[in-house]
Chains A and B, each alone.
Chain A
Amino acid sequence: MANFFDIKARKAAAAEGSSKTPTTKQEPNRMQPWVEKYRPKTLADVTAQDHTIQILTRTLTSSNLPHMLFYGPPGTGKTSTILALAKQLYGPELMRSRVLELNASDERGISIIREKVKDFARQQLSAIPPGAAGKAYREKHPVPPFKIIVLDEADSMTQDAQTALRRTMEAYSRITRFCLVCNYVTRIIDPLASRCSKFRFKSLDGSSASARLEHIAEAEGVKLDEGAVDALVRCAEGDLRRAITFLQSAARLVGATVAVSAGKRKKKGEEEDAMDVDAIGGTVTVRIVEEIAGVVPDDVMARLVDAIRSPATGKKRGGVMYEKVAKVVEDLVADGWSATQVTGQLYEKILYDEMIEDKCKNRIVMVFSEADKRLVDGADEHLTILDLALRIGEILAGKG
């Protein structure tokens, strides 16, 4: 305990530890999914949320903090940011005693929240020991005189629980700060939201996400083919976590074949280190990324569009060739393509087709809107896509 805060000693110990790790086979880091391994450790590591990070970085020196509300789509860095901020504010030793994280996996009924928050808020503020060690610690971490309560995934809290929270928040505001994190800001009741400074986390744009992915790829020794990063970003739709998971799987996929052949080679008593997949791994290509992301291949989509556009023959009024559409849809469903993915790609194909009149497009978007709602409600994918395709067909054929 004496040198618990002796940073020099700890650094030395850490260095010793890390110099050992490469020799031990089961390096713990390697066992982690990359999304965790590359979770930003400091505010500076968080990419793309410049405005938010800028403001939060300032709070590191100001020793005050408002209540906060982080909102934005999945995988944009909300949880990472608050955790990084807390770590920088309090440092590793005080994190536990100063920060309470409650998320959707915790019981968050009204009374439970109140109790947990109360218990936590009432505990004495843990302090830094006096003396040189404490001073050194303080130099690295401001340790402001309040605690932070993180309510992650707050949009899954009931209205009642949120209402109760409001009073709790006020009661302890002198010594606690709340940070609410959610995807949908509209699900947070107004009285709560209005007490917080709001930070919007933007869906990650191309260049910043690319930079992060390239950084990870480099650290992991993954070779990326031309366009692969763009494909990752595009398929992940602004969700960096998804992009990283895709990258990891793609890397494993191309690395795997190498690992197998390397294993064979080893038998013949050649290169001992050939098992290091990353060093000689294959290259991640656009196609592999798309395959992993579940993107429906172009030729499959083309078949669907063809079927939709093939008019029924021998009829007075226009119509679609039912059999053709039905067959393509049946195959799509049997092949397991996700209906959401199919609707998304079909939308792009139809709406960006300049040969289709705007008048038609106006009616077609209504059909897409209906289909999307139904899918989210859990309607049958087969019927929904079949209906969607047939209706688009009828509209294009001037009917329906």
Chain B
Amino acid sequence: MALLVDKHRPRSLDDLTYHHGLSDRLRALAQSGDFPHLLVYGPSGAGKKTRITATLKELFGPGVEKIKIDARVFQTTTNRKLDFNIVSSVYHMEITPSDVGQYDRVVVQDLLKEVAQTQQVDLSARQRFKVVVINEADYLTRDAQAALRRTMEKYSPNLRLVLLANSTANIIAPIRSRTLLVRVAAPTEDEIVSVLTKVGTKERYDIVEGLNKRIAKESGRNLRKALLMLEAVYAQNENVSENTRIPPPDWEVVITQIADEIVAERTPAQILQTRAKLYDLLTHCIPPTIVLKTLTMKLVSKVDDELKPEIVKWSAFFEHRIRTGSKVIFHLEAFVAKFMRIMESHSMGLDF
């Protein structure tokens, strides 16, 4: 059984329910024939992928929906074998080079050249070029990004890239310069409510406006999250009302616990206990940044206003360290320790 998120995914630009201006822009580009390379960015759950898939359909017609998945093997210069999955139709290809980590350059290099050097096989195709969609482009290594540069220019008759990213900060300037930046904002709470209502109706749920509003708010404008929450609420309750509890994901429960505990008790023993929980989160593949950010937001809501900027300051500091360092747990733990110190000093009336 497919998740609601997938089941009711809009398939064409006309079906998209929000950002109509942006849909028009994409349609205009798709119809013009001189479609540029795109760098599509925005927060996760804003619907970037859905929008791009719809744009591809506008470009090529329903044929792009006939996809197959290939497993390919690439070889690095050091003779390492890399397994790599490719989703493709006759007209396009979708890849996630960050799957192969630091070896992404090899994949990008080989694959794009291959695509670029073969012309569209379908002679009746609406476009001469093929599109390659690159997921998680902000995780591409610098080398892989450098490898895209000239390829994007040289093979532009046969190849267009669509880079998907949460942020443009990690994309090197020469790549940004070669793409049209397309910002996809998260839907507003109202827009989320209307999607929830639409999907709920299709699923024959008893729609409760108040509940949908609460879900929209809790989701933090993340549509994917909101839909998952909607599904969970209706799966777990026979009767749903405005006040039905929205079950938070397990990991969030753990983080709430951590926050409660370290606000209450600021001791080395507590740090030790927290460490175990943090480890647990990490082994369940919760991204460290999410852990730190969620924890920070929970802590901030529990302390005096005066302390809030200080806590954010250290959170940002250690998050940066997480990105540039190698041992995630060190930095998470250091943040916890720092937080405790700030609280202690404050309660003793000292400057931190």
Q: How many angstroms between the C-alpha atoms of A104 and B152 in the bound complex?
A: 11
The answer to the question of B324 belonging to the interface, with a C-beta cut-off of 8 Å to chain A, is yes
Contacts of A2 in B (CB 8 A): none
The answer to the question of B173 belonging to the interface, with a C-beta cut-off of 8 Å to chain A, is yes
The answer to the question of B14 belonging to the interface, with a C-beta cut-off of 8 Å to chain A, is no
Contacts A104-B146, A382-B293 given; does A74 touch B177 at CB 8 Å? yes
Contacts of A382 in B (CB 8 A): 293
Q: How many angstroms between the C-alpha atoms of A103 and B148 in the bound complex?
A: 10
The answer to the question of A339 belonging to the interface, with a C-beta cut-off of 8 Å to chain B, is yes
Contacts A33-B34, A252-B32 given; does A379 touch B319 at CB 8 Å? yes
Residue contact B183 to A390, C-beta cutoff 8 Å:
no
Per-position 1/0 for A248-260, Cβ under 8 A of B: 1100110111010
The answer to the question of B41 belonging to the interface, with a C-beta cut-off of 8 Å to chain A, is yes
Q: How many angstroms between the C-alpha atoms of A73 and B24 in the bound complex?
A: 33
> Which residue of the partner chain A has the closest CB to B313?
A387
The 8 A-B pairs at the shortest CB distance, nearest first, are namely A256-B28, A336-B42, A387-B316, A103-B150, A104-B146, A156-B146, A390-B309, A74-B177
Interface residues of B (CB under 8 A from A): 24-25, 27-29, 31-37, 41-43, 46, 77, 109, 112-113, 127-129, 138, 142-143, 146-151, 153, 156-157, 167-170, 173-174, 176-181, 183-186, 220-221, 289, 292-293, 296, 300, 305-306, 308-309, 312-313, 315-317, 319-320, 323-324
Give A373-400 interface residues, CB cut-off 8 Å to B.
374-384, 386-387, 390-391, 393-394, 400
Q: How many angstroms between the C-alpha atoms of A400 and B24 in the bound complex?
A: 46
Contacts A104-B147, A335-B186 given; does A74 touch B323 at CB 8 Å? no
**Most B C-beta atoms less than 10 A away, residue of A107, A246, A334, A375:** A334
Contacts A374-B316, A377-B324 given; does A338 touch B149 at CB 8 Å? no
Residue contact A376 to B179, C-beta cutoff 8 Å:
no
| Total A residues in contact with B, Cβ cutoff 8 Å | 75
> Which residue of the partner chain A has the closest CB to B179?
A245
Residue contact A294 to B183, C-beta cutoff 8 Å:
yes
Q: How many angstroms between the C-alpha atoms of A379 and B318 in the bound complex?
A: 9
Residue contact A252 to B28, C-beta cutoff 8 Å:
yes
The answer to the question of A67 belonging to the interface, with a C-beta cut-off of 8 Å to chain B, is no
> Which residue of the partner chain A has the closest CB to B181?
A294
Partner of A74, one of B174, B306, B308: B174
Q: How far is the CB of A258 from chain B (nearest CB, A)?
A: 10
**Most B C-beta atoms less than 10 A away, residue of A30, A292, A378:** A378
Contacts of B138 in A (CB 8 A): 378
Count: A-B pairs, CB below 8 Å: 201
The answer to the question of A31 belonging to the interface, with a C-beta cut-off of 8 Å to chain B, is yes
Contacts of B113 in A (CB 8 A): 105
Partner of A334, one of B31, B41, B181, B186: B186
Residue contact B185 to A378, C-beta cutoff 8 Å:
no
Apart from A105-B150, A383-B315, what 9 extra A-B contacts exist at CB < 8 Å? A33-B37, A156-B143, A239-B173, A245-B36, A256-B24, A338-B168, A339-B169, A381-B169, A383-B292
Give A336-361 interface residues, CB cut-off 8 Å to B.
336-340
Q: How far is the CB of A28 from chain B (nearest CB, A)?
A: 8
Interface residues of A (CB under 8 A from B): 26, 28, 30-36, 73-75, 79, 101, 103-107, 109, 152-153, 156, 183, 239, 241-242, 245-246, 248-249, 252-253, 255-257, 259, 277, 292-294, 312, 315, 317, 319-320, 322, 326, 330, 333-340, 374-384, 386-387, 390-391, 393-394, 400
Contacts of A375 in B (CB 8 A): 169
Residue contact B31 to A391, C-beta cutoff 8 Å:
no
Contacts A31-B128, A104-B150, A380-B289 given; does A334 touch B221 at CB 8 Å? yes
Residue contact B112 to A255, C-beta cutoff 8 Å:
no
> Which residue of the partner chain B has the closest CB to A25?
B33
Contacts of A153 in B (CB 8 A): 146, 149-150, 174
> Which residue of the partner chain A has the closest CB to B222?
A334
Partner of B34, one of A34, A183, A386: A34
Q: How many angstroms between the C-alpha atoms of A312 and B309 in the bound complex?
A: 12
Residue contact B169 to A390, C-beta cutoff 8 Å:
no
Q: How many angstroms between the C-alpha atoms of A79 and B177 in the bound complex?
A: 14
Contacts of B306 in A (CB 8 A): 312, 315, 317, 319
Residue contact B36 to A322, C-beta cutoff 8 Å:
no
Contacts of B43 in A (CB 8 A): 333-334, 336
Q: How many angstroms between the C-alpha atoms of A337 and B41 in the bound complex?
A: 9
Contacts of B181 in A (CB 8 A): 292-294, 338
> Which residue of the partner chain B has the closest CB to A259?
B31
Contacts of B36 in A (CB 8 A): 33, 245, 248-249
> Which residue of the partner chain B has the closest CB to A339?
B169
Residue contact A335 to B296, C-beta cutoff 8 Å:
no
Contacts A31-B34, A156-B142, A379-B316 given; does A338 touch B167 at CB 8 Å? yes
Contacts A31-B128, A374-B320, A383-B315 given; does A336 touch B150 at CB 8 Å? no
Residue contact B77 to A107, C-beta cutoff 8 Å:
yes
Residue contact A256 to B27, C-beta cutoff 8 Å:
yes
Contacts of A248 in B (CB 8 A): 34, 36, 180
Contacts A294-B183, A379-B319, A383-B316 given; does A30 touch B34 at CB 8 Å? yes
Q: How far is the CB of A26 from chain B (nearest CB, A)?
A: 8
Partner of A36, one of B148, B156, B183: B156
Contacts of B157 in A (CB 8 A): 28, 31-32
Residue contact B31 to A256, C-beta cutoff 8 Å:
yes
Q: How many angstroms between the C-alpha atoms of A152 and B174 in the bound complex?
A: 12
Residue contact B293 to A319, C-beta cutoff 8 Å:
no
Could you list 10 A-B pairs, sorted by A, with CB under 8 Å?
Answer: A28-B157, A74-B174, A245-B179, A337-B183, A340-B168, A382-B293, A383-B293, A387-B312, A387-B313, A394-B309
